[in-house]
Structure 1
Amino acid sequence: MDVQNQSFASEFILLGLSDRVELRTPLFFLFLAMYVLTVTGNILTVVAIQSNAHLSSTPMYFFLRCLSLVDVAFTSNIIPTMLLSLHIGHGKAGAISYTGCLIQMYIFLVLGNMDSYVLAAMAIDRYVAICNPLQYTKIMSHRLCLLLLAGSCLVSHLHSLVQTVLLSRLTFCASANMVPHFFCDIQPLLKLSCSDNSINELVGITADFIVIMTPFLCVVISYIHILVTILKIPSTRGKWKAFSTCGSHLTVVTLFYGSVAWVYFRPLSSYAAVKDQVASIVYTVLIPMFNPFIYSLRNTKMQVALKRMVWRRKM
């Protein structure tokens, strides 16, 4: 496309979830309730772990605390903008500057990748605890936990930096600055570009595949070994309890990686705004809301820690 006589976009308009006026209020209160539940559940998890010296020094709860903090930041980067757009309507409420859009996308990619890698680290932790319990303390040392966390941060920032720099090289015309999404994401922005984005698409799919599939394979391999070990448990009750816990974890992981794969592992030509927004809601809203209840608040030790914390507050 000839862009010599075009003016370039200095801001984008996020169109949000729906342009139907009658749906804005119900959607606003629905997502507000989900956001409050997400923040409350994850903050409770962090506070309960932090207030218990034994839990805070255990690798499993170290990763749970990291997951909760990442989830709070992850949703807070996206949902407030969505709520503002639903409350006020389109137009200036959904306006975001070009720089602000790139920053939001960068933060989104960093935190989304960290979510993925922390889930993988938790799966590895459970694998060692169940399949090699005698060596658990030695293998899952505090140093290894910090290295896993540092590695996830490094990979997440590098991936996000590559994607953001590639996107910043594209041209966006002022006549096409309407983003059919509720936050600045790679796919809808690439669709808006009025310059050649073939390199972005190729590098993007390749990088996404490597960065996302690596933790996914770690999760799958870890849980295969865990399930094999569980099948060897002689007690039927013990098997059922272990299967119940692993089943809920695998459900969350499947929803997370399945929705991410749907959005990012398809060619740009097959991008569908409505379907991709639904898939995006799964990993940006639903999964962070479910995580504290699936991984933390159902846990007996976490429940005891919360009760002790409440009792201390009352005293």
Structure 2
Amino acid sequence: MKDLLVVEGLGKTFGSKKFLQAEYAVTALRNVSFTLGKGETVGVVGESGCGKSTLARCVLDLIEPTTGSVLFDDTDLTKLDAKAKRDIRSRIQMIFQDPYSSLNGKRTIGKTLAEPLWVHEGVKYKEALPRIHAVLKEVGLPVSAADKYPHEFSGGQRQRIAIARALILEPELIIADEAVSALDVSVQAQVLLLMNSIQKEHGLSYLFITHDLGVVRNFCDRVLVMYLGSVVESGPVAELLTNPKHPYTKSLRDAAPIPDISRRQSLALLEGEIPSPANPPSGCAFHPRCPRATDICRSEAPTLQSSDDQRMFACHNPEP
């Protein structure tokens, strides 16, 4: 099956700033590459500041990448003019993290859902009402929600509205940036079940940004593990979480809560903080926190290498 999305060597460096006569540039992404097939869900995990949201915005071209390419259905988004980018964005939509700030409080839900149809298709509000009502029903909300304002809904309902806004243009790819992290656990489950049923019905692909490995385990097909702007491990979810090769992936897995008391074990805590992207460590970026670090880790950055189970990892001393 042909890949819907192919990201190659994506990098993003934010402009340098002078501070105390010194110039600093922050590299948020370093040589990120991955593919996403039609109907597939790829998760992206990592600590805050690892570049997950920057990656999502570069894929959608909300932020212009410094290096690399983003091919969507064989079209390089980084080389399109403004009009062509707007046209193709109807096929790629985004669900933002905060359901409170991502909706305009001064607009009714109907007007919010109608805006994409007006921008991309020139459809006026009255003409758009049948499609608005249909998508509201699809996400489990009553038709009467179109006449209400965001403050009249709970957090879970607002995220359903955000999903409806992403769906109304009938996209092929939805980028979900921490789409359930601001919700209660029970509401998270409801929203994930909704997204899963929508995916099956429409054949959607998801790029799912999250920090929750529990969500990844139950919702994603493959996963990218990011650290300080780079992919340190990737592969099918079950294999990667069962037998992680990179020490950072192992530490993330071990830090995830385990409901089954019989499976709990004494875990070594990951020490230290994620380094500043403005001043990354030499060699492997993870070596100051890594229990398996050796001299080569401090001097030479590892490259991604493949194993025989569709997995990639960047580590000089991988887990057995």
TM-score, normalising length from structure 2? 0.22
TM-score (norm 1): 0.22
Q: Which has the higher contact order (CA 8 A, sep 6+)?
A: 1
